[in-house]
């Protein structure tokens, strides 16, 4: 009986623990030396040593960013404000040897980049980080808010204070809002990281189709409004994607976050995009030309939005149970990128926006691009070693596409058939799959 009661008590305590979650407090108006103050109010933890961390890497990128490098001194306090011992064990990880009584964690963070420009460094994914400026903030939560190891499933409540003149664009659910304070709710740390936000003077446009509501939120450092021009180009893209996928899109709400900074080099431009389940963050450095910006966004948005199918809907277990410290990269990465790139290429000709000759020219270009890379490594191996082979993993788009739809289109049909048989609840004629995990 005593054992039963202990188990029951432990189960009840764990239930309360899981429900209470973590409360994060951030005030964008209160920055010191270009650093943002962060406070985390935490639930009770067991007495065993506890590890607090910021991710080394996040889904969608294939290089270790070590986001903990942006954090300053991390301090721990009990409910009475007394400091608790805490030690930094590596660049993004802190050990709390005796977490009994732990109530608060405080620290400051720097931004990942001051301004998005033409600079490029292999393995540096600026779309996974952000900037914090008085004029606008691009917030990737993995660079600001940490998690406790083995407790990533705890819910997060985020209280965000911001300038009254700024709008917070994100797909993260909000539960309360005033002109200067917004409360957001995330089901877990993974859910939080999956929903970046941009806080800036409002420049937004809505695209409403029968089964989806899309927010286009933009910020140009020039001060010019560009959202409506971009939305005009994205609307037919979404309509085409909807038709291409059998009349139904895989999400009901979606947000495009677009940050633009004019290029200071004539004729030069750069774009960086990172897909999420219900949003895409796009960074652009290029001249202020609304039509040119819209065309670039169209190309990036087409590829990134198709990622709602692969790998955000259909994926292997490595993505379903992502490890922010040492992820096991999926051997299916070539499939995710190759198939997604093919969708983005094939849709225009399928929907009559492009001639067959233009499509075949694009396919030929992909095959030529593929031949520039070594062919002495299997795509499945390269997929799993993408972090170590930064100079080669980019070939996964052309090689994955070429394998699937180039000389061996039967491979694509076989894989698509397997995906169709694995899907849950999709119509026989629709190329839409429910969120699930592929084993193997």
Most confident of 73-87, 323-337, 344-358, 397-411: 73-87
* Residue 311 confidence class, pLDDT cut points 50, 70, 90: low
pLDDT at 392: 65
pLDDT at 184: 98
pLDDT in tens, 52-81: 999 999 988 877 899 999 999 999 999 999
Mean pLDDT, residues 285-308 taken together? 82
Mean pLDDT, residues 121-125 taken together? 69
Helices (H), strands (E): how many in the chain? 10, 23
Q: Do β-strands 204-209 and 22-32 pair in parallel, antiparallel, or remain unpaired?
A: unpaired
pLDDT at 4: 31
On the question of a common fold for 19-200 and 204-306, the answer reads: no
CA torsion sign for 120, 195, 397, 378 is positive
Distance CA 160, CA 147 (A): 18
Distance CA 388, CA 123 (A): 10
**Mean pLDDT for the chain?**
81
pLDDT at 289: 84
Mean pLDDT, residues 2-16 taken together? 37
Cβ neighbourhood burial of 407 (10 Å; 0-12, 13-18, 19+)? exposed
pLDDT at 5: 34
Mean pLDDT, residues 210-238 taken together? 93
Contact 67, 143 (CB under 8 A): yes
Contact 130, 110 (CB under 8 A): no
Residue 344 in this model has a pLDDT that exceeds 80: yes
Distance CA 202, CA 165 (A): 8
Instruction: Choose among 190, 208, 311, 294: nearest CA to 254.
Output: 208
Mean pLDDT, residues 279-290 taken together? 90
Residue 409 in this model has a pLDDT that exceeds 70: no
What is the value of pTM for the model shown? 0.82
Mean pLDDT, residues 6-10 taken together? 37
Mean pLDDT, residues 276-284 taken together? 92
114-123, 150-159, 194-203, 245-254: lowest mean pLDDT where? Answer: 114-123
pLDDT in tens, 419-438: 444 443 433 332 222 223 33
pLDDT at 416: 46
Residue 400 in this model has a pLDDT that exceeds 60: no
Extents of the domains making up the chain: 19-200, 204-306, 329-438
Higher pLDDT, 153 or 297: 153
Higher pLDDT, 45 or 419: 45
pLDDT at 426: 37
pLDDT in tens, 347-385: 888 888 889 998 888 888 877 877 777 777 777 777 777
pLDDT at 122: 58
pLDDT at 439: 33
Contact 58, 195 (CB under 8 A): no
**CATH of region 19-200, choose from 2.60.40.3650, 3.20.20.70, 2.40.50.140, 3.60.15.10:** 2.60.40.3650
258-262, 290-294, 360-364: lowest mean pLDDT where? Answer: 290-294
Q: Which CATH superfamily is domain 204-306 in?
A: Neutral Protease Domain 2 (1.10.390.10)
């Amino acid at each position: 009986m005593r054992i039963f009661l202990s188990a029951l008590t432990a189960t009840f305590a764990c239930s309360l623990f899981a429900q209470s979650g973590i409360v994060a407090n951030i005030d964008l108006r209160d920055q010191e030396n270009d650093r943002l103050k962060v406070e985390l109010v935490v639930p009770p933890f067991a007495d065993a040593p506890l590890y607090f961390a910021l991710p080394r890497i996040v889904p969608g990128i294939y290089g270790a960013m070590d986001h903990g490098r942006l954090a300053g001194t991390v301090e721990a306090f009990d409910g009475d404000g007394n400091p608790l011992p805490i030690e930094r064990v590596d660049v993004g990880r802190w050990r709390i040897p005796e977490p009994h009584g732990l109530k608060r964690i405080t620290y400051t963070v720097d931004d990942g980049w001051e301004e998005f420009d033409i600079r490029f460094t292999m393995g540096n994914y600026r779309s996974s980080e952000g900037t914090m400026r008085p004029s606008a903030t691009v917030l990737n939560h993995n660079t600001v808010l940490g998690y406790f190891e083995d407790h990533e499933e705890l819910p997060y409540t985020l209280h965000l204070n911001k300038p009254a003149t700024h709008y917070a664009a994100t797909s993260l659910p909000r539960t309360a809002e005033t002109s200067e304070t917004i409360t957001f709710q995330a089901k877990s740390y993974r859910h939080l990281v999956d929903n970046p936000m941009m806080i800036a003077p409002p420049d937004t446009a809505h695209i409403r189709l029968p089964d989806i509501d899309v927010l286009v939120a933009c910020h140009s450092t020039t001060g010019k409004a560009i959202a409506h021009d971009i939305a005009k180009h994205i609307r037919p893209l979404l309509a085409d994607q909807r038709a291409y996928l059998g009349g139904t899109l895989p999400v009901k709400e979606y947000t495009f976050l677009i940050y633009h900074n004019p290029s200071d080099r004539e004729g030069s431009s750069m774009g960086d995009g990172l897909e999420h389940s219900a949003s895409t963050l796009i960074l652009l450095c290029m001249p202020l030309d609304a039509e040119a910006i819209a065309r670039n966004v169209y190309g990036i948005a087409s590829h990134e939005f198709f990622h709602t199918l692969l790998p955000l809907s259909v994926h292997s277990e490595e993505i379903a149970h992502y490890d922010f410290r040492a992820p096991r990269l999926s051997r299916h990465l070539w499939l995710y990128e190759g198939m997604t790139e093919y969708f983005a290429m094939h849709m225009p000709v399928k929907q009559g926006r492009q001639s067959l000759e233009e499509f075949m020219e694009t396919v030929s270009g992909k095959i030529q691009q593929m031949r520039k890379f070594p062919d002495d490594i299997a795509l499945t191996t390269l997929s799993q070693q993408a972090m170590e082979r930064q100079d080669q993993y980019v070939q996964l788009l052309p090689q994955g596409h070429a394998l699937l739809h180039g000389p061996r289109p039967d491979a694509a049909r076989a894989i698509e058939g397997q995906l169709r048989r694995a899907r849950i609840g999709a119509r026989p004629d629709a190329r839409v799959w429910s969120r699930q995990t592929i084993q193997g």
